Amino acid sequence: MEMDPSDAHYTTGTTRETRKPLIMAGTILGIGLGGFVDGILFHQILQTHNMLTARLPKTTIPNIEVNMFWDGMFHAFTWIMTAIGIALLWRAGARRDVPWIGKIFVGALFLGWGLFNLVEGIVDHHILNLHHVIERYGQSGYDIAFLLSGVVFIVGGILAIRSARSQGTPVTLR
């Protein structure tokens, strides 16, 4: 393979690795996928709540359809986050100074998922009161459990990322 002499990797034989692009890509992707877990699991499969069920209970067809519209608006944004995450992951994958370590990526995914649960839970369930995890119970222990799941995912994700860092996995050139 022909190498560019101006390339630092080539001229020095060593490389200064950066894990930030992989962490950022994984975190954004985790936010998007976390949003989809919420939407698919709670809004569609279990149907325990929809976007505005604290204000518009699902007791009439128009209310169900209005909720569906706002579910779609929310999912549009989770889709945008997912798309940005994929684009950043693609860019990170093309960089030779970004180590391709699964533990960092999975840790970042959980970090993102946890951030989503924590922020969405605080804002939508507690501050704005748009909906609650199990709507028929209103604000309940399930909302707290949702926040706790966010904290657990964040801590677990950070620990996974840090443990992979401390292992000092060598950079592999792709």
Partner 1 sequence: MYSGRATAVTTRMKRVISTSVAALLLTTLGSACPVCDSALGQEVRAGIFDGRFALTWLEVIAPFPILALILAAMHWGLRD
Q: Which residues bind partner 1 (CB under 8 A)?
A: 16-20, 23-24, 27-28, 31, 51-52, 56, 61-63, 65-66, 69-70, 73-74, 77, 81, 115-116, 119-120, 123-124, 128, 130
| Minimum CB–partner distance for residue 2 and partner 1 (Å) | 29
Write the CB contacts of 138 (distance below 8 Å, at least 6 apart in sequence).
54, 132
Sequence letter at residue 166: S
Choose among 106, 111, 105: nearest CA to 155. 111
| Minimum CB–partner distance for residue 164 and partner 1 (Å) | 14
DSSP 21-32: HHHHHHHHHHHH
- Considering beta carbons, is residue 18 or 48 the nearer one to partner 1? 18
Rounded to the nearest angstrom, the gap between the alpha carbon of residue 72 and the centroid of all alpha carbons in its chain is 18
- Considering beta carbons, is residue 8 or 123 the nearer one to partner 1? 123
| Minimum CB–partner distance for residue 111 and partner 1 (Å) | 9
